[in-house]
Amino acid sequence: MSKIRFATVWLDGCSGCHMSFLDMDLILLDLAPKIDLVYSPLVDFKTFPDQVDVTLVEGAVSSTEDEEKIRHIRRHTKTLIALGDCAVTSNVPGMRNTFKPETIMQHVYGDAPPVQVIPPLLPKSVPVHHIVPVDVFIPGCPPSADTIVKTLLAVLEGKPNPVPPRFG
Amino acid sequence: MNPATTAKVITLTIDDRSVGAREDQTILQIARENSIHIPTLCFLEGLTPAGACRLCLVEIVGTSRVLPACTTYATEGMVIRTTSPALEAHRRTVIELLFAEGNHICAVCVSNGNCELQDLATELGVSHINLPYLNPTRPVDASHPRFTLDHNRCVLCARCVRVCDEVEGAHTWDIMGRGVDARIIADLNQPWGEAASCTSCGKCVQVCPTGALVEKGKAVAEMRKRHALPKLITRQQEHGS
């Protein structure tokens, strides 16, 4: 069996879901022979490759940069998995949605918000599936390592997904 | 319910099972007596059913509309279905609407892990919300010395309104406004801490299914409610303490 081309992406989240992913500990050794990690904040590849079988997305879509990234990733990914509450519900990043982006920028940066480096905020921070189609949802803040590995193995082996856990 | 009631005994069918009941019982009561599970949110034993949440909708053969099991009385020969693809879709939509209409951030909620809305989403397989979130601007009333009302997490089940009126007898709570503007108010739309009728008994907090009514001083996931309170109190009243 050829290796699954596998990627993980970190949008507007706290990286807790990636920590939970690493929390698989020894199971990572079982997973390693099955996957080829082609893009991730955990490795040093700079660009998202053309053909990826499975991508885990952590975080909500909050800026124009996030939106461009996720649209690009969707085009080049067969199975897109929303990992954790930020990707699934927009969660904590979405708590700014009752304020206007300009109000937030002013509150954080004062009268001279940066016009470079910091990507412009979208009007609202939204779940991944509100921008592009998502194939599998894993709620949780963060989802447990056990939940991630069970779902991932089901996807890799083409089996039905296990029952998703609760939000939060 | 008085066991010496003179109500007629009837037979009906729920999910292909023939069951016996009294004609003064609702479909939900009969289903529960027969261990047939119907999801509910606004219903709470010991309080008058409100039919507010629409999760307990069931199909009745010969009736074109779906009806709430908590407020519909059974009749002789009734044939009821508590589950079908259409009913499950209805229930999931109800849950999605509740999540989309308020600001439910489970990860930072005091009721995380002890929330009936969260449990229902899991039970009904709602793993994500397809509807656009409204992200309404809703206030938090922390004027009461012991409790907080967070409108962001309120699902308008009216359990607090009913327990305050029917069990405590104070009738501090009401619902003001309509549709997405509806919200819980204390007395004549005053801050809770200034509501003269409130006895600070805390029953509303204990029956609230989400983190909308909570005790002060609780951190994330620390708020646990005593939902059996009205049932225990009303039973004691019926049997004479």
Q: Where are the alpha helices (DSSP H) in B178-218?
A: 203-207
Q: pLDDT tens string for chain A (168 positions)?
A: 689 999 999 999 999 999 999 999 999 999 999 999 999 999 999 999 999 999 999 999 999 999 999 999 999 999 999 999 999 999 999 999 999 999 999 999 999 888 888 899 999 999 999 999 999 999 999 999 999 999 999 998 888 888 788 898
* Backbone angles phi and psi of A97, in degrees to 5: -70, -15
Q: What is the pLDDT of residue B231?
A: 87
Give the pLDDT mean for B185-189: 98
Of residues B210 and B236, more confidence is placed in B210
Residue A147 in contact with partner chain B when CB distance is under 8 A: no
Q: What is the pLDDT of residue B74?
A: 96
The fraction of chain B above a pLDDT of 90, given in percent, is: 90
Kind plus residue range of the DSSP H or E element containing B223:
none
Residue B106 in contact with partner chain A when CB distance is under 8 A: yes
Q: What is the pLDDT of residue B232?
A: 86
Q: In 10 A of CB B174, how many CB atoms?
A: 17
Q: What is the pLDDT of residue A42?
A: 92
Q: What is the pLDDT of residue B72?
A: 97
Which residue in A153, A19, A135, A152 sits closest to A78, CA to CA? A135
Taking only the tens place, the pLDDT of each residue in B42-100 is 999 999 999 999 999 999 999 999 999 999 999 999 999 999 999 999 999 999 999 99
Pairing mode, if any, of strands B213-215 and B147-150?
A: antiparallel
CA dist., res. A46 & res. B8, Å (int):
76
Per-residue pLDDT at B5 exceeds 70: no
Return the structure tokens found at A125.
Answer: 């921070």
B127, B137, B151: best to mutate for the A interface, most A CBs within 10 A: B127
Q: Do B119 and A166 touch (CB under 8 A)?
A: yes
**Chain B closest CA to A33's CA: distance in Å?**
30
User: What is the pTM assigned to this prediction?
Assistant: 0.94
Per-residue pLDDT at B134 exceeds 80: yes
Residue A16 in contact with partner chain B when CB distance is under 8 A: no
- If you average pLDDT over every residue of chain B, what do you get? 95
Residue A55 in contact with partner chain B when CB distance is under 8 A: no
Cα–Cα–Cα angle for B111, B151, A144, rounded to 5 degrees: 30
**Chain B closest CA to A24's CA: distance in Å?**
22
